[in-house]
Amino acid sequence: MILEAVDKPLEGIVHEERDVTVYFQRGGSVGKGTLYIAENELTWQTDDNKGFSLQWPDVSLHAILTEVTADFPHQCVMVVATVDLDEKEEAGDDSASEKSVDAEVVTTFQLVPDSVQKLEPIYKAMCECVALHPCSDGEEDDEEDNEGNDNDENWEADPNGTADETEKAETMDDLPTGDSGPNGSAEPMEQGQFDDAE
């Protein structure tokens, strides 16, 4: 894991926690720094302004892990992101990002504060911010726009359509678009089961 220069969020900071150590699934600890949980991003920054930043739609899962093992003897907040931070920072080009998306690469890391009492505030702040970004809304809007365009094209192609065609078009318009519910980034809010591991 190669850290890059990052800035502290300028606005919308919900929770700030100093002395948080980050452990990556690959490469182990990358040091201790300040964790900024803001409405639009999750940022971790060392004292020399190095670190990483994630947008909330890229966070697919977060949960408190209280069970310790010989391999990882720390209680923590685990985060799974749908980006490859190693590849993103080492390659730094669009082709690498596209490759990561196509391969469905994920990054897993652990946030370890200097006290286990701080796990819950970190987790709750993350839940609050993740809930602000249900990215499925944009996808639904795109689908609705496409459906509208398709209907317009049909009417332009055959403005004198039959009654059956008219009924079909009206039925399509009346179909509920539905709500896909929280996207992957909101799944962490259902991970309370990890709290019971104690």
Give the CA distances from residue 170 to residues 144, 150, 160, in Å, rounded to whole numbers and listed in that order. 14, 13, 15
Q: How many CA atoms lie within 13 A of 158 on its CB side?
A: 10
Query: What average pLDDT does this structure show over 163-175?
Result: 46
E strand map for 85-164: 107-112
Is residue 86 within 8 A of residue 1, CB to CB? The reply is yes
Is residue 177 within 8 A of residue 138, CB to CB? The reply is no
Which tens digit of pLDDT belongs to each residue from 79-137?
999 988 765 544 445 544 454 445 578 899 999 999 999 999 999 999 999 999 986 54
Residues in CB range of 102: below 8 A, 6 or more apart: none
**CA 77/CA 112 separation, integer angstroms:** 7
- Checking if the pLDDT of 138 tops 60, the result is no
Query: What average pLDDT does this structure show over 21-41?
Result: 92
Token digits for 89? 């920072």
- Checking if the pLDDT of 55 tops 80, the result is yes
CATH code at 4-133+184-197: 2.30.29.30
What pLDDT does residue 98 have?
53
What pLDDT does residue 84 have?
81
The residue ranges of every structural domain in the chain are: 4-133+184-197, 136-174
What pLDDT does residue 87 have?
57
